[in-house]
Copies of this chain bind each other. A is one copy, B any other.
Amino acid sequence: MAAWSERLAGVRGVLLDISGVLHDSGEGGGVPIPGSVEALARLKRSQLKVRFCTNESQKSRGDLVGLLRHMGFDISEGEVTAPAPATCLILKERGLRPHLLIHDGIRSEFAQIDTSNPNCVVIADAGESFSYQNMNKAFQVLMELDNPVLISLGKGRYYKETSGLMLDVGAYTKALEYACGIKAEVVGKPAPGYFQSALQEMGVESHEAIMIGDDIVGDVGGAQRCGMRALQVRTGKFRPSDEHHPEVKADGYVDNLAEAVDLLLKYAHQ
C-alpha cells in the first residue's frame, strides 16, 4: 500500500460516521470511544472541513446530537446528514403517505407528514419494535398496493451496542423485499445520492473528501463508489475479517478516530 502521505494528499473535507466512530450506542445512550472526543476537537480546530454522515434512525437528529454533546463531542444539528429529514423531503416531493415501521425515538421527525391512507412503507431501525405483528402489518400494507413503494433508512446489516451486535434495518428491509418481491429505495449510506448531498452540504468535491467509518460496505465501499477516499476504524462493528473483504478495500485501516485524525493532520492538505 502507498505511503500515508500519498493516500491522504489533497484531502480538504472529512465525513464522519457517528455510531462506532464517535461512540458505541447502547443503554442510556452508550459510551464514547476512548480518544474520540479529543480527536474530534482537534479535527475541528484544523483547516479541514468536517461533517457527520450517519444512518442513525432510532433517534431524532436532535436527540442524537444532545446525547453526543452530553458526552463531550463538539457537534451541532446543522452539521449532521441524517436519513429521517432526507426521507421527509422525498415523501413531500412525491406526495407519499407512509406507513411508518420505525422506533418511537424518531417518530417526532415525521410529525409534519400525512400518514393517513398509506401509499408506501418507510422502514427504519425500529429495534424492539421489529415485532412479528409490526413486520406483518408493514407487509400487508405493501401487498395491498398496486405499486408497492418501500423506503428504507439505510440498509445496514448490524451495528454494535455496548451489549453486543444488533440487527440493523437492512436485515428487515431484505425480509420485506423478499416477501413482496420488490426492491427498497434506500435513503442513507451507501446510496450515492446520500453521500453526494453530504458532500454538497460540506462544500467539498468527492476527490477532496474522505469518509471515516466502521462499516466496510456501507461507509467505505459506499464512499469509494462516489469517488471519495475512505478509512475504516477498528472500533464499533469492525471485525478483523473486514480487512480481507472480498470486494471492498479501504484506503487505510486505523485503530480508531484518534489515529485517523493524527494521520490527517499530518498528511492531508499536502
Question: Which residues from chain B contact A238 at a C-beta distance below 8 Å?
Answer: none
**Segment at the interface with B among A31-39, A66-74, A126-134, A259-267:** A126-134
Q: Copy number in this complex?
A: 2
User: What residues of B have a CB within 8 angstroms of the CB of A157 in the complex?
Assistant: 178-181
Contact status of A166 and B136, CB under 8 A, knowing A157-B181, A171-B178, A175-B171: yes
Mask: chain A, 140-183; 1 = CB below 8 Å from B; 0 = not: 10010000000000000110000011111011101111111100
Band of interface residues on A:
20 to 34
CB neighbours (8 Å) of A191 from chain B are none
C-alpha spacing A133/B131, complex, angstroms: 9
A139 touches B127 (CB 8 A): no
Other-chain contact of A164, B130, B140, B178 (Cβ < 8 Å): B140
| Separation of A133 and B130 alpha carbons in the complex (Å) | 9
Q: Which residues of A contact B (CB under 8 A)?
A: 126-133, 135-136, 139-140, 143, 157-158, 164-168, 170-172, 174-181
Q: Name the B residues within 8 Å of A178 (CB-CB).
A: 157, 170-171, 174
Docked pose: A92 CA to B164 CA in angstroms:
31
A227 to B201, CA, bound (A): 58
In the bound assembly, the distance between CA atoms of A232 and B14 in angstroms comes to 56
Complex Cα gap A12–B172 (Å): 43
With CB as the reference atom, state the residue of chain B lying closest to A158.
B179
Q: Tell me how far the C-beta of A101 lies from the nearest C-beta in chain B, rounded to whole angstroms.
A: 12
Beyond A131-B131, A157-B181, A181-B157, is A136–B175 a contact (Cβ under 8 Å)? Answer: no
User: Is the beta-carbon distance between B179 and A168 smaller than 8 angstroms?
Assistant: yes
Query: A132 vs B165: C-alpha distance in the bound complex, in angstroms?
Result: 13
Please, how many angstroms separate the alpha-carbon atoms of A166 and B180 in the complex? 11
Give CA–CA (A180, B170) in the complex, Å: 11
